[in-house]
Structures are given as C-alpha cells and as structure tokens.
C-alpha cells in the first residue's frame, strides 16, 4: 500500500518546527529518520496531513560532554552511536545496543530521539535510556522542560510529549570507570524488535543499580526488587566493592526470586506464562553479563 496524500515542509530552525507543529491542530507529524512512521503511513495506520522534516536541523545534531554528563541531540542516528562518532557515556553499552538495531541501512537514518518519541514498547532506546537514568529535554511553544526517561513513556505509543513539543536532546549521566552493564535482547531473528529485552546497570561508585525491561506490554518496566537485589550483591558491609560483582559475592538464586517477584507484581502488564519466562531469562542473562 501507499501512504495517503500529505503536505511536506522542511523548517530551517527548531523554533520554526515548533511553530508549525503548534499551528497544525494536531494534524502534523515530525519526521527525521522516518523508519517507523513511513511504514505506518504505507499501512494506513497513520495519516498525518502534514509532515515536518526535522532531519537536518543543526540543533538536533549537537553532541557535547562535561565531567559528569553526555548530551546527545535527538537527531543523532543509531549509526553515529554505533560508530562512536559521538561521546559515549555508557562504557560501550550504547554502541552495543545501536549495532543490534535492525540493519545498517536503517541505522544510518533512524534517530535516538525518534525512537524515544515513538515509544514502541519493543524498541531498545527507551529501556536503555531509562536504565541509564537519562533525561529528555523537550522544546515547545512555552519553552523547554525536562522529563526523566523513566517517566517519558506513559503507554504503548504514548508519551508525555505535548502536541507542540519536540524532543531536542538527551542528557545521560556518565557511568563510572568501574561500572558494569548487561544487555540481553531475545527475538526470533536478528534485526527485529525484541520479544523480551533487559538492561542491567551496576555502578557501585555512584551507588547506582538498575534493572529495566523492554518489550513489556507498555513503558519500560523498572524492576525495583531486582535492582535492590543487584545492589545488595554489589556491596560488602559499609564499603563499596565493585569486585563483588565479578566474584563469589553475588547470589543468583536471590536475584532470580527478586526478579520473579517484580514480574508477579506487574499485574497491569498482563504477562502470560511465556512472556513472564522470557523476561525472567532476559533479566538474568543481563545481570550475568554485568557480573562477568
């Protein structure tokens, strides 16, 4: 099928794009990489009257870093992250994830901000950004505001973006040199969306531990009990002990029970037995990588 008729405009600035979006009466959609939107339009699942092309806006391609944070413009592509053409705050996690997204042709067009804004529940970037405790800076007619990526998605393809807002950049705290991470994506074949997706981050120097699940029938699911269990495995008494993550200090059985309890308590996600098993496997594999 082909997309229905639409108008197209390429604004010259972010403020112009915001103005066009605000004046569209909800009938416009932004397009950057377009890797998901165009497919939805061809299938007649989306029919915007106006496409606002923001792919070439300089404001969305900026990358910067300081001692504690890396800021990536929303228009930065998966390929740029994969190729380490931009600063990496994640000690290799983000390049690893980018390399596992679809296929190279798609990675050269798809964007970090576009993936977050679409909020596909099976997409990688929303759960990775949540696991890294990133923040999204949004730009609208009333100015800018910041939303934590753990709260950005509110449902399946639903976010906290207002109709006149654009994701401008993502701010991601840098992992400490001794931090560990794990990433597990389960699917039927390489390049497709995940059936289960887990990211584990253990940063003892910052006293930060988090396990997050994607493809979880909604927004990224933070495993509170599992994260506390992971934290307990990274501590020895009152002192930080990053080496415990790789040694005999961890308790896989306790962690498995904690993750299982999180899945059992997520009644609103309506996991069937198969999904529950896949998520448990993905979470345990991700934590094992963090311990390796």
Q: What is the pLDDT of residues 82-115, one digit of tens each?
A: 999 999 999 999 999 999 999 999 999 999 999 9
Domain co-membership, 224 together with 259: yes
Distance CA 89, CA 91 (A): 6
Residue 38 lies in a domain: yes
Q: What is the DSSP letter of 235?
A: E
Q: 84-94 burial by CB neighbour count: b if 16+ within 10 A, else e?
A: eebbbbbbebb
Phi, psi of 75 (to 5 degrees): -90, 0
For residue 72, the cross-strand partners are 63, 170
Is residue 212 packed enough to be buried (19+ CB in 10 Å), middle (13-18) or exposed (0-12)?
A: buried
What is the mean pLDDT of the segment spanning 113-134? 96
Q: What pLDDT, on the 0 to 100 scale, is given for residue 242?
A: 40
Structural domain boundaries enclosing 19: 7-53
Q: Which residue has the tokens 């949004």?
A: 138
28-31 and 50-53 strand pairing: parallel
Domain co-membership, 214 together with 285: yes
Residue 237 lies in a domain: yes
CATH number at 87 reads 3.30.465.10
Domain co-membership, 209 together with 280: yes
Residue 228 lies in a domain: yes
Domain co-membership, 185 together with 283: yes
Domain co-membership, 119 together with 33: no
SS3 171: strand
pLDDT at residue 240 tops 90 = no
Asked if residue 181 lies in contact with residue 91, where contact means CB atoms within 8 angstroms, the answer is yes
Q: 217-254 burial by CB neighbour count: b if 16+ within 10 A, else e?
A: bbbbbbbebbbebbebbbbeeeebebebbeeeebeeee
Domain co-membership, 62 together with 46: no
Q: What is the pLDDT of residues 167-220, one digit of tens each?
A: 999 999 999 999 999 999 998 877 677 899 999 999 999 999 999 999 999 999
CATH number at 47 reads 3.30.43.10
Domain co-membership, 149 together with 227: no
Residue 25 lies in a domain: yes
Residue 278 lies in a domain: yes
Domain co-membership, 142 together with 99: yes
3-class secondary structure for 91-143?
A: CCHHHHHHHCCCCHHHHCCCEHHHHHHHCCCCCHHHHHHHHCCCEEEEEECCE
Distance CA 141, CA 76 (A): 23
Token pair, residue 58, equals 């300089």
* Boundary residue ending a domain (122, 153, 173): 173
Q: What pLDDT, on the 0 to 100 scale, is given for residue 238?
A: 34
Q: What is the pLDDT of residues 15-39, one digit of tens each?
A: 999 999 999 999 999 999 998 899 8
Our count of domains for the chain comes to 3
Instruction: Name the residue with higher pLDDT: 116 or 194.
Output: 116
* Boundary residue ending a domain (173, 199, 233): 173
Residue 1 lies in a domain: no
What is the mean pLDDT of the segment spanning 152-156? 97
Domain co-membership, 168 together with 205: no
Residue 88 lies in a domain: yes
* Boundary residue ending a domain (173, 192, 221): 173
pTM of the model: 0.92
CATH number at 279 reads 3.30.390.50
Residue 108 lies in a domain: yes
Domain co-membership, 102 together with 159: yes
Total Cβ atoms within 10 A of residue 201: 27
Domain co-membership, 166 together with 185: no
Domain co-membership, 190 together with 237: yes
């Amino acid at each position: 099928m082909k997309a229905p008729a639409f108008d197209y405009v390429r604004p010259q600035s972010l403020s112009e794009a915001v103005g066009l979006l605000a004046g569209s009466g909800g009938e416009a959609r932004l397009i950057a990489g377009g890797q998901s939107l165009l497919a939805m339009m061809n299938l007649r699942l989306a029919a915007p009257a106006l496409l606002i092309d923001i792919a070439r806006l300089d404001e969305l391609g900026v990358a910067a870093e300081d001692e504690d944070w890396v800021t990536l413009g929303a228009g930065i592509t998966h390929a740029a992250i994969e190729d380490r053409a931009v600063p990496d705050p994640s000690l290799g996690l983000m390049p690893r994830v980018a390399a596992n997204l679809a296929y190279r042709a798609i990675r050269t067009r798809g964007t970090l901000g576009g993936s977050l804004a679409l909020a596909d529940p099976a997409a990688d970037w929303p759960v990775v950004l949540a696991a890294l405790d990133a923040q999204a800076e949004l730009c609208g007619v009333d100015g800018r505001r910041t939303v934590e990526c753990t709260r950005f998605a509110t449902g399946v393809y639903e976010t906290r973006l207002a109709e006149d807002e654009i994701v401008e950049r993502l701010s991601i705290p840098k992992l400490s040199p001794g931090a560990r991470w794990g990433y597990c994506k389960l699917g039927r074949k390489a390049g497709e969306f995940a059936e289960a997706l887990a990211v584990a981050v253990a940063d003892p120097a910052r006293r930060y531990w988090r396990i997050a699940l994607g493809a979880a029938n909604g927004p990224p699911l933070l495993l509170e009990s599992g994260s506390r269990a992971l934290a307990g495995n990274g501590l020895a008494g009152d002192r930080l002990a990053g080496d415990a993550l790789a040694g005999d200090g961890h308790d896989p059985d306790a962690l498995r029970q904690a993750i299982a309890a999180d899945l059992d308590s997520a009644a609103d996600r309506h996991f069937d037995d198969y999904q529950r098993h896949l998520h448990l496997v993905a979470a345990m594999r991700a934590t094992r990588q963090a311990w390796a």
